[in-house]
Amino acid sequence: MLLTALEFLGLVAFAASGALAAVRARLDVFGVVVVGLTTALGGGVIRDVLLGIHPPTTLRNWPYLAVCAATALVVFAFHPQVARLRRGVLLADALGLGVFATAGTTIALNAGATVYAACLIGMTTGIGGGAVRDLLLREIPLVLRKEIYAVAALAGSVLVAAGHALRLPQGPVTVVAAAGVVAIRMIALWRHWNAPVARAPE
């Protein structure tokens, strides 16, 4: 139940951030809903495909689609108010990243994946939807060009895997790891941390 609650929290956060990006790109209401759905569900679909879960969980249960579509429609209707909540949107995105990365790692471990594979799958679950969103909006994925994003997701996945190896209670470990991802992401935004970029050739 804890994993399900965290997943729905992450779905709302990612659907909102994806829908807002689509509104800024001047997409119509259908486009906003599609991008919101893709951002929220993309990482989970990639995770399930990698784990051999067919059809993917989010496509078998209608509440996932309904919650994401409703969130996107709310953002479309009230986007001026949502856009003014910049810090809230960034926090929601960080929350979604933490929830999906850690929940994805836990699901992979429960499905029998090795620790190494589970960490990579968890990170991919966290960043996959955002990467697909950026591609749909004809942008280089944010995770590939600036900001501490994938590193934060990987750190949370490693914490979950370490807790699993030490046989610690799964629920509390997942929550603490997700909070760690959010903390790393928000501190990186506050301090303007970015991964190193190669200098342009002369």
- Determine which of 25-34, 54-63, 157-166 has the lowest per-residue pLDDT on average: 54-63
Estimate the crossing angle of helix 170-191 against helix 150-165, to 10 degrees: 160
Please give the average per-residue pLDDT across 33-52, as a whole number. Answer: 95
User: Closest Cα partner for 177 from 121, 134, 138, 119?
Assistant: 119
Task: Give the per-residue pLDDT at 3.
Answer: 67
Would you place residue 202 in the very low, low, confident or very high pLDDT band (cuts 50, 70, 90)?
Answer: low
14, 96 Cβ separation under 8 angstroms: yes
User: Is there a domain that residue 87 lies in?
Assistant: yes
- 198/129: higher pLDDT: 129
| Domain that residue 141 falls in | 1-191
Identify the residue with better confidence: 33 or 6.
Answer: 33
Q: Which of the given ranges, 12-16, 24-28, 92-96, has the highest pLDDT on average?
A: 24-28
Task: Indicate whether 199 belongs to any domain.
Answer: no
pLDDT tens for residues 142-153? 787 767 889 999
Contacts of 175 (CB under 8 A, 6+ apart): 2, 6
Query: pTM above 0.95?
Result: no
Is 200 contained in some domain?
no
How much is the pLDDT for 90? Answer: 82
Residue 32 located in a structural domain: yes
- How many domains does the chain fold into? 1
In a domain, 77, yes or no: yes
